[in-house]
């Protein structure tokens, strides 16, 4: 019986108030202690932040569904729900203890699975499992970034196999170096909510993947021509962006890791405001700049401008003033508008613009930390960016090449032209609308 359980819970609660002096009891009631209160508030922050970041998985799914052509939409949906699920399992099986089981100053934790602590073991300032949940959704975010870049040509299972290693091994090991308390932390590297540790990790894996996989058929011709392949649904792309923006309050706000004091609550509020301001500034910068450059606002750039602002503020969403948050976001928005055509010139085919958003702005955000946070320095930031970039790129490259050389990474030309949905899933995303073979196929 649901309601009676509450009374029992209350009785238990009263009795576990270990630190409350008995003399305070009155009418069977006791005073609450700081430790107890902190524990509940901090755990609540992890759970709130966690479900908001979990929601970002839907945001990536919608953004990518809107940015690919209709013949590949169902496959990108399958990849997104698949990778989120894989992250959830791998971060339990290996990831968490690899990342947080590291010795101070060390390089790697242990290959053991995560187990729920018992009530008796909950002696810290938050529930252990709430931290697992919060860190797990961050791991999933890194994998989500990869799927967009490589869309419309990578096979489903090899992509998911990459995600197994990315979420179970690659992400946790580099995460251990800073957030796990390892050597990069000791080296002074600072990345509050993961511009580098989450976003550029996904970005590096995506970049290396894009280089090894090659561009979509018809995207670039031999004469240097670049052929746009417009996304199938702008409202879904917009929805995805709004979802990501919403989820980012959990991403950055939750990374305060504590809520139960006046200072922590104020800091979380400040993080919310700075996060929103950077995103808003990124949108406005991208809209104004595309109007100036191309005489028209580019909606996909505006959407990516929001994400650019968000990624840029993620490495340090707490210390900036509002004008600095806006400036960090503006530069992020400009970087995306500038980098997207640059990648096309280099014939690096990034379907959704994930490399400009998550890698380029991830680096920018990480470099910007010392501008507002006096306890950091550019040298340490550069060491962190390079160390993580080299590690993730190298291991990803090895992994992509192994997959390419064994099961193969790319669908056949025929399947790519006909669409991955029919080839990989045997269905269509929109069976009643539009052409089965898209006119955009060269």
**Site residues for its own copies, window 251-270 (CB under 8 A)?**
253, 255, 257-266, 268-270
- Within residues 28-47, the interface with its own copies by CB under 8 A covers 29-44, 46-47
Please report how close the Cβ of residue 256 comes to its own copies at its closest, in angstroms: 8
- Within residues 328-347, the interface with its own copies by CB under 8 A covers none
Is residue 110 involved in binding its own copies (CB under 8 A)?
A: no
Query: Residue 231 and residue 67: Cα distance in Å, rounded?
Result: 4
Contact 301, 290 (CB under 8 A): yes
- Cβ proximity to its own copies, 207 vs 256, nearer residue: 256
Please report how close the Cβ of residue 250 comes to its own copies at its closest, in angstroms: 8
What single-letter DSSP state applies at residue 438?
Answer: -
Is residue 321 involved in binding its own copies (CB under 8 A)?
A: yes
Site string for its own copies, 111-150 (x = CB under 8 A): --xxxxx-x--x-xxxxxxxxxx--x--------------
Residues touching its own copies: how many (CB under 8 A)?
164
Please report how close the Cβ of residue 288 comes to its own copies at its closest, in angstroms: 10
Q: Which two tokens stand for residue 26?
A: 């009155």
Is residue 57 involved in binding its own copies (CB under 8 A)?
A: yes
Please report how close the Cβ of residue 305 comes to its own copies at its closest, in angstroms: 8
Q: How many other C-beta atoms are found inside a 10 Å radius of the C-beta of residue 387?
A: 18
What does residue 226 show for φ and ψ, rounded to 5 degrees? -115, 125
Is residue 281 involved in binding its own copies (CB under 8 A)?
A: yes
Is residue 69 involved in binding its own copies (CB under 8 A)?
A: yes
Applying CB under 8 A, among 161, 310, 326, 409 the residue interacting with its own copies is 326
Applying CB under 8 A, among 306, 334, 340, 368 the residue interacting with its own copies is 306
Going by C-alpha positions, the residue among 153, 167, 190 that lies closest to residue 315 is: 190
Query: Residue 393 and residue 210: Cα distance in Å, rounded?
Result: 12
Is residue 24 involved in binding its own copies (CB under 8 A)?
A: yes
Please report how close the Cβ of residue 95 comes to its own copies at its closest, in angstroms: 12
Applying CB under 8 A, among 208, 236, 308, 359 the residue interacting with its own copies is 236
Please report how close the Cβ of residue 184 comes to its own copies at its closest, in angstroms: 9
Query: Residue 287 and residue 305: Cα distance in Å, rounded?
Result: 8
Residue 167 CB partners (closer than 8 Å, separation 6+): 83, 86, 87, 90, 91, 95, 139, 140, 142, 143
Sort 6 into a burial class: Cβ within 10 Å, 0-12 / 13-18 / 19+.
exposed
Burial 176-193 (b: 16+ CB within 10 A, else e): bbbbbbbbbbeeebbbbb
Query: Residue 227 and residue 282: Cα distance in Å, rounded?
Result: 26
Applying CB under 8 A, among 144, 174, 195, 277 the residue interacting with its own copies is 277
- Within residues 158-217, the interface with its own copies by CB under 8 A covers 178-181, 185
- Cβ proximity to its own copies, 126 vs 220, nearer residue: 126
Name the segment binding its own copies (CB under 8 A); options: 202-210, 275-283, 353-361, 396-404: 275-283
- Cβ proximity to its own copies, 165 vs 268, nearer residue: 268
At 29, is the secondary structure helix, strand, or coil?
strand
Please report how close the Cβ of residue 218 comes to its own copies at its closest, in angstroms: 15
Query: Residue 152 and residue 154: Cα distance in Å, rounded?
Result: 6
Going by C-alpha positions, the residue among 347, 337, 335, 338 that lies closest to residue 226 is: 347
């Amino acid at each position: 019986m649901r309601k009676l359980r509450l009374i029992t819970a209350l009785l238990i609660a009263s009795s576990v108030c270990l630190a409350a002096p008995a003399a305070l009891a009155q009418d069977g009631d006791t005073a609450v202690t700081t430790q107890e209160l902190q524990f509940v508030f901090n755990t609540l922050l992890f759970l709130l932040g966690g479900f908001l970041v979990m929601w970002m998985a839907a945001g990536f799914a919608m953004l990518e569904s809107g940015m690919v052509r209709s013949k590949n939409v169902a496959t990108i949906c399958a990849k997104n729900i698949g990778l989120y699920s894989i992250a959830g399992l791998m971060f339990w099986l290996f990831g968490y203890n690899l990342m947080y089981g590291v010795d101070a100053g060390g390089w790697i934790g242990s290959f053991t699975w995560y187990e729920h602590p018992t009530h008796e073991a909950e002696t810290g300032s938050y529930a252990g499992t709430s931290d697992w949940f919060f860190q797990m959704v961050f791991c999933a975010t890194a994998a989500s970034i990869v799927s967009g870049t490589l869309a419309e040509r990578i096979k489903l299972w090899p992509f998911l196999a990459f995600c197994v290693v990315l979420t179970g091994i690659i992400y946790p090991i580099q995460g251990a170096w800073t957030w796990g308390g390892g050597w990069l932390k000791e080296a002074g590297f600072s990345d509050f909510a993961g511009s580098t540790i989450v976003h550029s990790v996904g970005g590096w894996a995506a970049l290396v993947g894009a280089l090894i996989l090659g561009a979509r058929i018809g995207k670039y011709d031999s004469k240097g021509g670049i052929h746009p392949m417009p996304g199938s649904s702008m409202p879904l792309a917009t929805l995805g962006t709004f979802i990501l923006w919403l989820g980012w309050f959990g991403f950055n706000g939750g990374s305060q890791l504590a809520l139960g004091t006046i200072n922590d609550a104020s800091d979380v509020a400040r993080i919310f405001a700075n996060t929103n301001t950077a995103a808003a500034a990124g949108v406005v910068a991208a809209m104004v700049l595309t109007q100036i450059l191309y005489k028209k606002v580019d909606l996909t750039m505006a959407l990516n401008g929001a994400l650019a602002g968000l990624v840029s503020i993620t490495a340090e969403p707490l210390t900036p003033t509002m004008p600095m948050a806006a400036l960090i976001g503006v530069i992020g928005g400009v970087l995306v508008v500038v980098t997207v055509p640059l990648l096309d010139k280099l014939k690096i085919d990034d379907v959704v613009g994930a490399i400009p958003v998550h890698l380029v702005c991830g680096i920018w955000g990480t470099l910007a930390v010392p501008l507002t946070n006096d306890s950091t320095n550019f040298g340490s930031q550069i060491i962190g960016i390079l160390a993580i970039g080299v590690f993730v790129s190298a291991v990803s490259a090895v992994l992509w090449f192994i997959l390419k050389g064994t099961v193969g990474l790319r669908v056949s030309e025929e399947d790519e032209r006909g669409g991955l949905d029919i080839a990989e899933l045997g269905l269509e995303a929109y069976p009643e609308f539009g052409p089965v073979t898209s006119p955009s196929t060269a």
